[in-house]
């Protein structure tokens, strides 16, 4: 969860100043999460070329993927106190998620509850195919909102898969992005958890009645899961 998108159009604009008079600037600019890397150069015939690349922290947009974004660039020149400023207005437009079964949880982002039980790795793959990721809770507020979401969807599984695991090193829980679980902002475990029961619980879940974390088997448990769409 980062910032609210308009569920309808999901449009965000960013202004990127690329050049000012008398100076040649290749600036690196940030627009509310995704990074727009702007570089400019002069080619052999003396024409300016400005290249813009969109870099997102977690997921690279792929063609045909619901996560893909369209970039619309509109250059403008402003004259002000004798100086000219060239700006690029960049609009990023993504496909609406709502038709894909995602719903907005106000203040947190877009989520999809999958009630068809599968094992953790399959759940992770389904989310990735949808251009999202297994849910990662970042606050008590989000945990509470997700608990309400599960209730609303009448999720009956006690454990609902989430986007963390300790497959690489027992007890060292990391998110599906490789970040320490400690840094997510929400690390409340269900009482007595994580217990690595049977020495085989390396995958992450949320207890659907408490909204708190649990470690579960990656291969012996098929469960519901929630995909979270990165809100850029
Ligand atoms: C430089 O860029 C301009 C504009 O895109 C293009 O017309 C021209 O052919 C380019 N020159 C070279 C040498 O690539
Ligand atoms: C989920 O939490 C409830 C309340 O703490 C607990 O009774 C239940 O055993 C938990 N389920 C699992 C699978 O840990």
Same-domain pairing of 146 and 83: no
Question: What pLDDT score was predicted for residue 32?
Answer: 45
Is the model's pLDDT at 30 over the cut of 50? no
On the CB side of 54, CA atoms within 13 Å amount to 23
Structural domain boundaries, residue 166: 103-229
Same-domain pairing of 118 and 79: no
Total tally of structural domains belonging to the chain: 2
Label residue 44 by pLDDT band (50, 70, 90).
confident
Pick the last residue of a domain from 68, 94, 120.
Answer: 94
Distances (CA, A) of 36 to 5, 33, 49: 18, 9, 16
Q: Where are the alpha helices (DSSP H) in 98-219?
A: 120-129, 140-152
Same-domain pairing of 117 and 221: yes
Same-domain pairing of 50 and 116: no
CB 34 within 8 A of CB 55: yes
Write the residue with the smallest CA distance to atom 6 of ligand 1.
Answer: 47
Choose between 14 and 146: higher pLDDT. Answer: 146
**Rounded Cα–Cα distance for residues 42 and 64 (Å):** 33
Closest by CA to 49, choosing from 35, 33, 65, 38, is 38
Which ligand gives the minimal distance to the CA of 50?
1
Same-domain pairing of 113 and 153: yes
**Rounded Cα–Cα distance for residues 92 and 54 (Å):** 10
Summarize pLDDT for 108-131 with one digit per residue, the tens: 889 999 999 999 999 999 998 888
Q: CATH number for the domain including 118? A: 3.10.100.10
CB 27 within 8 A of CB 39: no
**Rounded Cα–Cα distance for residues 49 and 102 (Å):** 39
Spacing, Cα 46 to ligand 1 middle (Å): 8
Decide whether any atom of ligand 2 lies within 6 Å of the 209 Cβ: yes
Spacing, Cα 76 to ligand 1 middle (Å): 21
Same-domain pairing of 157 and 207: yes
Same-domain pairing of 107 and 205: yes
On the CB side of 211, CA atoms within 13 Å amount to 16
Label residue 214 by pLDDT band (50, 70, 90).
very high
Question: What pLDDT score was predicted for residue 173?
Answer: 98
Burial (Cβ within 10 Å: 0-12, 13-18, ≥19) of residue 208: buried
Question: What pLDDT score was predicted for residue 24?
Answer: 38
Question: What pLDDT score was predicted for residue 42?
Answer: 78
Q: Identify the residues whose C-beta falls under 6 Å from ligand 1.
A: 43-45, 47
Decide whether any atom of ligand 2 lies within 6 Å of the 7 Cβ: no
Pick the last residue of a domain from 94, 119, 137.
Answer: 94
| pTM of the full structure | 0.64
Same-domain pairing of 79 and 136: no
Pick the last residue of a domain from 67, 94, 121.
Answer: 94
Which ligand gives the minimal distance to the CA of 190?
2
Same-domain pairing of 89 and 108: no
In this prediction, residues 27-32 reach a mean pLDDT of: 47
Distances (CA, A) of 170 to 167, 182, 216: 7, 15, 13
Is the model's pLDDT at 197 over the cut of 50? yes
Closest by CA to 111, choosing from 202, 212, 227, is 227
Spacing, Cα 52 to ligand 1 middle (Å): 17
Same-domain pairing of 27 and 45: yes
Label residue 195 by pLDDT band (50, 70, 90).
very high
Same-domain pairing of 148 and 167: yes
The mean pLDDT value of the chain amounts to 79
Decide whether any atom of ligand 2 lies within 6 Å of the 147 Cβ: no
Same-domain pairing of 109 and 85: no
Question: What pLDDT score was predicted for residue 185?
Answer: 95
């Amino acid at each position: 969860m980062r910032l609210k998108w308009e569920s309808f159009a999901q449009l965000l604009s960013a202004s990127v100043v690329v050049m000012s008079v008398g100076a040649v600037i290749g600036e690196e600019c940030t627009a509310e999460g995704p990074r727009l890397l702007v570089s400019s150069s002069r080619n052999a015939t003396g024409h300016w070329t400005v290249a813009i690349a969109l870099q997102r922290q977690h997921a690279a947009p792929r063609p045909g993927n619901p996560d893909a974004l369209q970039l619309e660039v509109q250059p403008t020149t402003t004259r002000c106190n004798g100086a000219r400023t060239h700006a690029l207005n960049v609009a990023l437009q993504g496909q609406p998620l709502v038709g894909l079964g995602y719903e907005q949880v106000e203040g947190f982002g877009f989520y999809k509850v999958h009630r068809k039980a599968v094992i953790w790795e399959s759940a992770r793959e389904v989310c990735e195919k949808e251009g999202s990721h297994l849910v990662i809770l970042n606050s008590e507020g989000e945990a509470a909102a997700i608990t309400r979401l599960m209730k609303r969807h009448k999720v009956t599984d006690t454990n609902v898969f989430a986007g963390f695991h300790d497959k690489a090193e027992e007890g060292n829980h990391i998110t599906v992005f490789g970040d320490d679980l400690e840094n997510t902002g929400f690390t409340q475990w269900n009482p007595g958890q994580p217990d690595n029961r049977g020495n085989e619980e390396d995958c992450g879940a949320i207890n659907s009645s408490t909204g708190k974390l649990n470690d579960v088997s990656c291969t012996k448990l098929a469960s519901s899961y929630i995909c979270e769409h990165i809100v850029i």
